[in-house]
Chain A
Protein backbone atom coordinates (compact mmCIF):
# COMPACT_ATOMS: atom_id res chain seq x y z
CA UNK A 1 0.00 0.00 0.00
CA UNK A 2 1.46 3.38 -0.95
CA UNK A 3 2.43 5.61 1.94
CA UNK A 4 3.94 8.97 2.71
CA UNK A 5 7.51 8.76 3.99
CA UNK A 6 9.50 11.35 5.91
CA UNK A 7 13.17 11.72 6.71
CA UNK A 8 14.79 12.03 9.11
CA UNK A 9 12.64 10.60 11.87
CA UNK A 10 14.42 12.80 14.41
CA UNK A 11 16.51 15.91 13.85
CA UNK A 12 18.45 17.75 16.51
CA UNK A 13 19.82 21.18 15.68
CA UNK A 14 21.25 24.26 17.31
CA UNK A 15 19.23 27.45 17.50
CA UNK A 16 19.86 29.61 14.44
CA UNK A 17 20.74 26.72 12.17
CA UNK A 18 18.88 25.86 8.99
CA UNK A 19 17.05 22.56 8.74
CA UNK A 20 15.40 20.81 5.84
CA UNK A 21 12.73 18.23 6.49
CA UNK A 22 12.03 15.84 3.66
CA UNK A 23 8.90 14.09 2.55
CA UNK A 24 8.04 11.74 -0.28
CA UNK A 25 4.30 12.00 -0.95
CA UNK A 26 2.25 9.25 -2.55
CA UNK A 27 3.24 9.20 -6.19
CA UNK A 28 -0.06 10.09 -7.91
CA UNK A 29 -1.08 12.74 -5.39
CA UNK A 30 -1.10 16.37 -6.41
CA UNK A 31 -1.68 18.26 -3.15
CA UNK A 32 0.85 18.42 -0.37
CA UNK A 33 0.75 19.74 3.15
CA UNK A 34 2.86 20.36 6.21
CA UNK A 35 1.46 20.31 9.72
CA UNK A 36 3.22 20.51 13.06
CA UNK A 37 2.46 19.44 16.57
CA UNK A 38 4.22 21.05 19.49
CA UNK A 39 4.39 18.63 22.41
CA UNK A 40 1.09 18.57 24.24
CA UNK A 41 -0.65 20.83 21.76
CA UNK A 42 -2.85 20.48 18.69
CA UNK A 43 -1.75 19.41 15.26
CA UNK A 44 -1.60 22.73 13.38
CA UNK A 45 -1.73 23.42 9.68
CA UNK A 46 1.32 25.16 8.23
CA UNK A 47 1.05 25.19 4.47
CA UNK A 48 -0.52 23.55 1.44
CA UNK A 49 1.15 23.26 -1.96
CA UNK A 50 -0.15 22.53 -5.42
CA UNK A 51 1.25 22.91 -8.90
CA UNK A 52 4.57 24.18 -7.55
CA UNK A 53 2.95 26.98 -5.63
CA UNK A 54 1.81 27.60 -2.09
CA UNK A 55 -1.98 27.33 -2.07
CA UNK A 56 -2.56 28.43 1.49
CA UNK A 57 -0.46 29.11 4.56
CA UNK A 58 -1.19 29.75 8.19
CA UNK A 59 0.07 32.62 10.28
CA UNK A 60 2.68 30.26 11.69
CA UNK A 61 4.28 29.94 8.27
CA UNK A 62 6.33 33.12 8.30
CA UNK A 63 9.38 34.16 6.29
CA UNK A 64 11.55 31.67 8.15
CA UNK A 65 9.71 28.82 6.47
CA UNK A 66 9.75 27.75 2.85
CA UNK A 67 8.58 24.73 0.90
CA UNK A 68 9.81 23.26 -2.30
CA UNK A 69 9.27 20.34 -4.62
CA UNK A 70 12.79 20.06 -5.96
CA UNK A 71 12.09 17.04 -8.14
CA UNK A 72 9.23 14.77 -9.08
CA UNK A 73 9.12 12.94 -5.78
CA UNK A 74 10.35 15.02 -2.85
CA UNK A 75 8.56 17.76 -0.95
CA UNK A 76 10.66 19.71 1.53
CA UNK A 77 10.11 22.10 4.40
CA UNK A 78 13.00 24.43 5.18
CA UNK A 79 13.36 26.45 8.34
CA UNK A 80 16.04 29.07 7.74
CA UNK A 81 17.04 30.02 11.27
CA UNK A 82 15.54 27.71 13.84
CA UNK A 83 14.19 28.95 17.16
CA UNK A 84 13.59 27.02 20.34
CA UNK A 85 9.85 27.26 19.73
CA UNK A 86 10.22 25.43 16.41
CA UNK A 87 10.75 22.21 18.37
CA UNK A 88 7.82 20.04 17.35
CA UNK A 89 6.74 17.00 15.38
CA UNK A 90 6.35 17.93 11.72
CA UNK A 91 3.93 15.93 9.61
CA UNK A 92 3.81 15.84 5.85
CA UNK A 93 0.57 14.84 4.11
CA UNK A 94 -0.63 14.40 0.56
CA UNK A 95 -4.01 14.03 -1.07
CA UNK A 96 -5.19 13.08 -4.55
CA UNK A 97 -7.65 15.94 -4.94
CA UNK A 98 -8.44 19.40 -3.78
CA UNK A 99 -11.87 19.36 -2.22
CA UNK A 100 -12.20 19.03 1.52
CA UNK A 101 -13.56 15.51 1.33
CA UNK A 102 -10.36 14.09 -0.10
CA UNK A 103 -8.47 12.12 2.50
CA UNK A 104 -5.10 13.44 3.49
CA UNK A 105 -2.52 10.70 3.94
CA UNK A 106 0.00 11.49 6.64
CA UNK A 107 3.61 10.46 7.06
CA UNK A 108 5.07 9.26 10.38
CA UNK A 109 6.51 12.67 11.18
CA UNK A 110 9.91 14.20 11.87
CA UNK A 111 10.62 15.18 15.44
CA UNK A 112 12.63 18.39 15.41
CA UNK A 113 14.50 19.35 18.55
CA UNK A 114 16.09 22.80 18.66
CA UNK A 115 18.70 23.28 21.40
Chain B
Protein backbone atom coordinates (compact mmCIF):
# COMPACT_ATOMS: atom_id res chain seq x y z
CA UNK B 1 0.00 0.00 0.00
CA UNK B 2 1.20 3.48 -0.72
CA UNK B 3 2.02 6.03 1.97
CA UNK B 4 3.20 9.63 2.22
CA UNK B 5 5.31 11.28 4.89
CA UNK B 6 5.55 15.00 5.41
CA UNK B 7 8.08 15.31 8.21
CA UNK B 8 7.41 18.96 9.04
CA UNK B 9 4.15 19.73 10.79
CA UNK B 10 4.69 23.46 10.48
CA UNK B 11 7.32 25.75 8.99
CA UNK B 12 7.81 29.48 9.39
CA UNK B 13 9.46 31.40 6.57
CA UNK B 14 10.14 35.10 6.22
CA UNK B 15 8.38 36.86 3.38
CA UNK B 16 10.69 36.93 0.37
CA UNK B 17 12.72 33.95 1.53
CA UNK B 18 12.86 30.64 -0.29
CA UNK B 19 10.75 27.68 0.72
CA UNK B 20 11.13 23.92 0.56
CA UNK B 21 8.48 21.56 1.89
CA UNK B 22 9.49 17.94 2.16
CA UNK B 23 7.53 14.93 1.00
CA UNK B 24 8.57 11.28 0.94
CA UNK B 25 6.42 8.56 -0.49
CA UNK B 26 6.26 4.80 -0.52
CA UNK B 27 4.85 3.07 -3.57
CA UNK B 28 5.81 -0.08 -5.42
CA UNK B 29 5.87 1.42 -8.90
CA UNK B 30 6.26 4.84 -10.47
CA UNK B 31 3.76 6.95 -8.58
CA UNK B 32 1.54 9.79 -9.57
CA UNK B 33 2.44 12.63 -7.20
CA UNK B 34 0.51 15.74 -6.27
CA UNK B 35 0.80 18.81 -4.11
CA UNK B 36 -2.39 20.45 -2.86
CA UNK B 37 -2.82 23.65 -0.88
CA UNK B 38 -5.61 24.45 1.52
CA UNK B 39 -6.29 27.98 2.65
CA UNK B 40 -8.59 28.54 5.64
CA UNK B 41 -12.20 27.84 4.71
CA UNK B 42 -11.24 26.66 1.26
CA UNK B 43 -11.07 23.29 -0.43
CA UNK B 44 -7.92 21.56 -1.54
CA UNK B 45 -6.45 23.25 -4.61
CA UNK B 46 -4.01 21.43 -6.86
CA UNK B 47 -0.64 23.17 -7.12
CA UNK B 48 1.12 20.71 -9.40
CA UNK B 49 1.40 17.06 -10.34
CA UNK B 50 3.95 14.58 -11.64
CA UNK B 51 3.13 11.59 -13.79
CA UNK B 52 6.16 10.98 -15.98
CA UNK B 53 8.83 12.73 -18.01
CA UNK B 54 10.70 15.75 -16.74
CA UNK B 55 11.29 15.31 -13.04
CA UNK B 56 11.05 19.04 -12.36
CA UNK B 57 7.45 20.16 -12.62
CA UNK B 58 6.12 23.66 -12.57
CA UNK B 59 2.86 24.56 -10.93
CA UNK B 60 0.65 27.49 -10.22
CA UNK B 61 1.55 30.44 -7.99
CA UNK B 62 5.27 30.09 -8.75
CA UNK B 63 5.67 26.67 -7.11
CA UNK B 64 7.76 23.83 -8.46
CA UNK B 65 8.56 20.33 -7.29
CA UNK B 66 11.23 17.80 -8.14
CA UNK B 67 10.67 14.06 -8.29
CA UNK B 68 13.71 12.13 -7.08
CA UNK B 69 13.15 8.44 -7.49
CA UNK B 70 16.36 7.48 -5.67
CA UNK B 71 15.20 9.36 -2.58
CA UNK B 72 11.48 8.61 -2.95
CA UNK B 73 10.91 12.32 -2.59
CA UNK B 74 8.80 15.00 -4.19
CA UNK B 75 9.74 18.23 -2.44
CA UNK B 76 7.88 21.45 -3.10
CA UNK B 77 9.84 24.66 -3.61
CA UNK B 78 9.26 28.32 -4.15
CA UNK B 79 12.10 30.85 -4.60
CA UNK B 80 10.36 33.77 -2.88
CA UNK B 81 7.44 33.34 -0.50
CA UNK B 82 4.59 35.83 -0.32
CA UNK B 83 2.39 36.41 2.72
CA UNK B 84 -0.55 34.99 0.74
CA UNK B 85 1.24 31.63 0.58
CA UNK B 86 0.45 31.00 4.24
CA UNK B 87 -1.70 27.87 4.16
CA UNK B 88 -1.55 24.14 4.72
CA UNK B 89 0.18 22.07 2.06
CA UNK B 90 -0.55 18.43 1.37
CA UNK B 91 1.50 15.97 -0.62
CA UNK B 92 -0.41 13.04 -2.11
CA UNK B 93 0.33 9.91 -4.10
CA UNK B 94 -2.04 8.29 -6.55
CA UNK B 95 -1.89 4.83 -8.01
CA UNK B 96 -0.84 4.49 -11.64
CA UNK B 97 -3.42 1.80 -12.26
CA UNK B 98 -7.02 1.27 -11.40
CA UNK B 99 -8.95 3.92 -9.57
CA UNK B 100 -7.45 7.25 -8.76
CA UNK B 101 -7.61 7.05 -4.99
CA UNK B 102 -5.28 9.54 -3.39
CA UNK B 103 -3.22 8.89 -0.28
CA UNK B 104 -2.31 12.08 1.53
CA UNK B 105 0.40 13.10 3.94
CA UNK B 106 -0.48 14.80 7.22
CA UNK B 107 0.19 18.22 5.78
CA UNK B 108 2.62 21.02 6.54
CA UNK B 109 1.33 24.34 7.83
CA UNK B 110 3.27 27.24 6.34
CA UNK B 111 3.47 30.44 8.35
CA UNK B 112 4.92 33.53 6.70
CA UNK B 113 6.51 36.16 8.91
CA UNK B 114 6.89 39.81 7.85
Contacts and interface: CB of A to CB of B under 8 A. Distances in A.
Contacts of A108: 41-43
A48 to B, nearest CB: 5
A109 interface: yes
A95 B94 CA distance: 13
A75 interface: no
Contacts of B105: 42
A109 B42 CA distance: 8
A42 B100 contact: no
Interface residues of B, number: 27
A104 B43 contact: no
Contact of B106 (A3, A42, A100, A105): A42
A85 B103 CA distance: 20
Interface string A92-115: 010100111111111111000000
Contacts of B99: 31, 48, 55-56, 98, 100
A43 B104 contact: yes
Contacts of B45: 106
Interface residues of A, number: 28
A41 interface: yes
Contacts of A95: 100
A106 B51 contact: no
Interface string B5-40: 000000000000000000000000000101010000
Contact of B95 (A91, A100, A104): A100
Contact of A99 (B100, B106, B107): B100
A31 B100 contact: yes
B104 A100 contact: no
10 contacts: A35-B102, A42-B106, A43-B92, A43-B107, A56-B98, A95-B100, A98-B99, A100-B94, A101-B100, A105-B46
